[in-house]
Copies of this chain bind each other. A is one copy, B any other.
């Protein structure tokens, strides 16, 4: 991995090396930790280290979700988690899932937060404020900018599905990003696993732009449908995220082994779909 290779290339290299399209979401919920870590002062980083060491050979990237750290004032453990991955498992990129979105001058600060303070390889961004709110991220050309397009939650229908000049808003968002915002080739889209029809539609619009696909597992997305609908013609083009289904696969002190088994099972299921639909 050279420092100038972009985020998408780095994910592809990790995917090839680990034969995996799986992203493990690092969403710590101390209430669900094993007893020994639940009340530990630095329980989050301890939990994450065990999960990371158990799964680093099975993933193409990691995705810590910001709110899970911010709600309990654990930004230092978020920073340490990202550094731990980079130091101990080089070549595995990290997505900071923070869904930022603000006016240009403020977005500059958010880009510094994600890319400099936390050293993330990519960040999720909300497109509602338009182009100038995204440009401060886009100009970090070796980092990924993962824009919300069609999300995995029920409320995605409220605005993302509104008809705009004969087609739905999420299609307009997807096309605008692909045609106008992606000059540096560092854009990706968030498209939820829970809506395979929309996944297929968006795939048809944006060529081989990679998708980050949340919603498998706890949210009920169907993996086979996702893999049929979401893959790009020229390659894989999907990063399949699972958080709770892996982190809390086992509740006891054997949580890391349980997480490893769950990650391996999901990775293999994804790969089965890859060979079927190749």
Q: Name the residue of chain B whose CB is nearest to the CB of A162.
A: B164
Copies of this chain present in the complex amount to 2
Q: How far is the CB of A10 from chain B (nearest CB, A)?
A: 24
Residue A132 lies at the interface, judged by CB distance under 8 Å to chain B: yes
* Number of A residues, CB within 8 Å of B: 54
What are the residues of chain B within 8 A of A99 when measuring CB–CB?
100-102, 126
Query: Can you spell out 30 A-B residue pairs with CB atoms less than 8 angstroms apart?
Result: A65-B102, A65-B106, A67-B100, A67-B109, A67-B113, A70-B113, A71-B109, A71-B112, A99-B100, A101-B101, A103-B214, A104-B155, A126-B128, A127-B158, A128-B151, A129-B153, A129-B156, A130-B155, A130-B156, A130-B157, A131-B154, A131-B158, A133-B153, A159-B172, A159-B176, A162-B164, A162-B172, A163-B164, A163-B165, A164-B169
The residues of A with any CB-CB pair to B shorter than 8 Å are 27, 65, 67-68, 70-73, 75, 79, 99-104, 106-107, 109-110, 112-113, 116-117, 126-134, 148, 151-160, 162-165, 169, 172-173, 176, 214, 219
